[in-house]
């Protein structure tokens, strides 16, 4: 279902079926959902970084890898400085 919010994910609207008999149990349309549900749904695209195409995915990847990079550079600086002292 199309929406004016660019951050709505494709999982915003839901259909729930009974697994035993296949009857439709619930229809959840994000356009008529409470505000909290809309906000939580908006965080899906923000969390995974796919709201702006390939550019946002690359930026999210670099940001996600930054703790690892900082850890390795910090360890490198520690080892270099500890060799000078000792």
Contact 25, 16 (CB under 8 A): yes
Tell me: the pLDDT tens digits for 35-61? 887 778 778 777 777 777 888 888 888
Taking the alpha carbons of 67, 71, 77, 81 in that order, is the dihedral positive or negative? positive
Tell me: the pLDDT tens digits for 5-24? 666 667 777 889 999 999 99
DSSP, res 25: E
Whole-Å CA distances, 19 to 5, 24, 25, 61, 75: 32, 10, 10, 37, 52
DSSP state string for 53-84: THHHHHHHHHHHHHHHHHHHHHHHHHHHHHHH
């Amino acid at each position: 279902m199309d929406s004016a919010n660019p951050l709505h994910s494709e999982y915003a609207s839901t259909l729930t079926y009974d697994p035993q008999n296949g009857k439709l149990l619930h229809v959840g349309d994000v356009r008529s959902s409470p505000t909290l549900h809309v906000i939580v749904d908006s965080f899906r695209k923000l969390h995974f970084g796919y709201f702006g195409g390939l550019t946002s995915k690359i930026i999210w990847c670099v940001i996600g890898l930054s703790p690892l990079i900082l850890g390795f550079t910090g360890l490198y600086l520690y080892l270099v400085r500890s060799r000078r002292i000792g």
